[in-house]
Structure 1
Amino acid sequence: MSDPSIRFGAFTIPIKYLSLAILVIQNSTLVLTMRYSRTSEGPMYLSSTAVVMTEAIKLLTCLVIIFFEENLSVAATLGLLHREIVAKPDETAKMGVPSFLYTLQNNLLFVAVSYLDAATFQVTYQLKIITTALFSVIMLGKRLTRAKWIALVVLMVGVALVQLPPPKATEELPARSENNGGVVPADAAGAAGRKLNGLELTADLPEQHLRRLLAAIPANEKESDAELAVAGDDAGAASGSFIGLMAVITACCSSGFAGVYFEKILKGTQASIWVRNVQLGLFGAIIGIIGAFYQDGAAIAENGFFQGYTTVVWLVILMQAFGGLLVAVVVKYADNILKGFATSVSIVVSSIISIFLFGFHPHMAWNVGAGFVLLSTYLYSLPDAPVDQIRRSNV
């Protein structure tokens, strides 16, 4: 049986690949927009309320789709919802697990993009491929080939390289050369060389003399207020990066389990994918509202539910809602691991745009790590059938 497809004139495109291509575009633009919304000037919106609105819009969209599928009949739509949701409480209750995990994941993603640049977030978030693969093996009984396991290891190494801190630029005294005759200009010696315990150096000094003076200063006196401030900024940046990393790792675990759980439910039932998303949306909206008022109840009471909302924030919400439905289509017609690897292609797009939009400057370890992630995508996409045929021919 051939895969479901859509015709565009003389071309026929399988829904599986069309949905994957759209997912790549959606992921690239979403993470950049999320990052921009969390770093732009002005009052900051509450991410917990954005998650609630995402679930509400997703729920409303699914209801509209079901309404059209039922030939614009309100009675038929209500009848379907009653049969599939109200009359099957056990089936509906099953959706509470992935719904809770998806809501948790969405909240964590807002935390992550607040502390990590868009490109680093995109690369690190691909760890969900590993968690998805492991849960697929455990829960769905899938068997991964050696190439796929190698791809997962390469992916893990790539993400680790991306997380390495960039090398710090160090101010060194210029080396002795024929041009300077062994003399270090005062303006090239840096702050410590120009000012020694309040003594300004206004003339060039012999290199050896200057080095002896610098060595004679106690270490604690060499650190200027500016250097201490930089050290404090570095510590704060490291702490923020750690928070962002932990948020991403937790979101990856949540995403992996929820995605495989949802895939198992979708492929083991005859219920419409849109009905399943209505169930997800119902649980998600309820859980999200409880979480929003528990986490930000005081802020909501003081400044309102929609405080800090701008056009960009609404765009993020709409894109998240659209992406959630798109993921459901992907896992229905493709599979959850293939979805994860297709998403990693968006790293290239996000990285390039981040350079121009956010002034992102990737260092060597980041470039190598991102290359490893893309290599893992290629390794995983290698077909299994030819490998099996080669093995059989050699027997």
Structure 2
Amino acid sequence: MGKDVENVEDQEPLVHSVANSARSSGVSEWKRKSVVTLALMLLTSSQGILIAWSKRAGTYDYSITTANFLVELLKCIISLVFLLQSWRREGVTEDNKLTTTLDEVKLYPIPAALYLIKNLLQYYIILYIDAPSYQILKNLNIISTGLLYRLFLQRRLNQIQWAAFILLALGCTTAQLNSSSDRVMQTPVEGWLMAIVMALLSGFAGVYTEVIMKKRLSRNVNVQNFWLYIFGIIFSIIAIVIQDFDVVMNRGFFHGYSMVTVCMIVNHALSGIAVSMVMKFADNIVKVYSTSVAMLLTAFLSMFLFGFQLTLPFFLGTMVVSVAVYLHSQGKGGK
């Protein structure tokens, strides 16, 4: 009996140690999610604002292909910096070394090409619509992503997710209703068409990238990002040659750049890194809160920066889209 008491007493420090370790792990996890949520929210909400702010007289003074090239280059550099930190902490291992096989590398050109087209398309969309509308319409990629999961990965969509898709479409439409003009919709047809194409590209690229990321979960995310961004750089150079070669040769690579353009490039690079982290470690709540708050924050900031008028249809549409995003997240969690 005495020995049993002694054993229990001996085990108590171990139990307390495990409990404290679990509590500490939970707190650090909560802090990590909070930081990622806040960062993603700020980066997402400022993305459309910075693109709109970089316009001059309804157009861009700089070459959007060179800006996209710098975004991909910066993302690649950031990934390498994080990778160097991993090497210092863990040493070079099988999961964090840059050298890889052809079978792994050949997966990256497809999403890199899709992201290039999608990223260039967003500049053209903002020529037709304002930043808050852009932030709302970006959520159409939730529908395209869900449908692509259903078509290519055979994932069944439950009733909650289908209801979320319908609400999302209604919310996006409601937010664009124009009660103060002869036009029913604020967004021109060109803006809607480009938004739908961008949603399809974003959905397909996102699904494909997520499959790559999770195909080997132990693989260091910075290595995966590095190869994705390397192909992004290659395709961006091709885009510069095809679209802006003469302009760049005559006026210079950095023609038309301003401090806003530089901030926009940094924002896009950091957003890409943050999204890839969320994809790798998949936290739906992070994406839900970031997306919902970003829509309202974009509208609020646009009121002061661009004189945006916050109408009742836009506010109601934003609320409906936020509910739809939440329902979609709950539907995914319930599978």
Aligned-partner Cα distance in 1 for 2:144–2:266: 27
Aligned to 1:315: 263
Q: Does the residue aligned with 1:305 lie in a helix, a strand or coil?
A: coil
Change (3 A) 1:280 1:25: same
Aligned to 1:62: 79
Aligned residue identity for 2:271 = G
Question: Contact conserved, 2:58 with 2:127, CA < 8 A, in 1?
Answer: no
Q: How does 1:9-24 map to 2 (within 5 A)?
A: 12-13=29-30, 15-16=32-33, 18-24=35-41
Question: Contact conserved, 2:167 with 2:321, CA < 8 A, in 1?
Answer: yes
Question: Contact conserved, 1:259 with 1:336, CA < 8 A, in 2?
Answer: no
Question: Contact conserved, 1:260 with 1:336, CA < 8 A, in 2?
Answer: no
Question: Contact conserved, 2:71 with 2:266, CA < 8 A, in 1?
Answer: yes
1:95 aligns with 2:108: yes
Deviations 1:194-223 (A, max 9, x none): xxxxxxxxxxxxxxxxxxxxxxxxxxxxxx
Aligned to 2:274: 326
Question: Contact conserved, 2:210 with 2:280, CA < 8 A, in 1?
Answer: yes
Aligned to 1:271: 219
Aligned to 1:246: 193
- 1:371 Cα deviation from its structure 2 partner: 2.3
Aligned to 1:363: 311
1:25 aligns with 2:42: yes
Aligned residue identity for 2:161 = K
Q: How does 1:1-395 map to 2 (within 5 A)?
A: 12-13=29-30, 15-16=32-33, 18-39=35-56, 44-71=61-88, 80-82=97-99, 84=100, 88-168=101-181, 241-269=188-216, 270-334=218-282, 339=287, 342-382=290-330
Aligned residue identity for 2:74 = I
Aligned residue identity for 2:266 = L
Change (3 A) 1:74 1:7: closer
Change (3 A) 1:7 1:128: farther
Aligned residue identity for 1:95 = Y
Which runs of 5 or more structure 2 residues have no equivalent in the other structure?
A: 1-21
- 1:22 Cα deviation from its structure 2 partner: 2.1
Aligned to 2:15: none
Aligned-partner Cα distance in 2 for 1:124–1:145: 23
Q: Does the residue aligned with 2:30 lie in a helix, a strand or coil?
A: strand
Aligned-partner Cα distance in 1 for 2:90–2:316: 56
Aligned residue identity for 1:318 = V
Change (3 A) 1:44 1:337: farther
* TM-score (ref. length: structure 1): 0.70
Q: Does the residue aligned with 1:115 lie in a helix, a strand or coil?
A: coil
Question: Contact conserved, 2:284 with 2:329, CA < 8 A, in 1?
Answer: no
Change (3 A) 1:143 1:314: same
Aligned residues: 311
Question: Contact conserved, 2:177 with 2:314, CA < 8 A, in 1?
Answer: yes
Q: Does the residue aligned with 1:98 lie in a helix, a strand or coil?
A: helix
For the aligned residue pairs, the C-alpha RMSD in angstroms reads 3.3
Aligned-partner Cα distance in 1 for 2:288–2:108: 21
Moved more, 263-272 or 121-130: 263-272
Moved more, 338-347 or 98-107: 338-347
Change (3 A) 1:76 1:260: closer
- 1:6 Cα deviation from its structure 2 partner: 11
- 1:248 Cα deviation from its structure 2 partner: 1.9
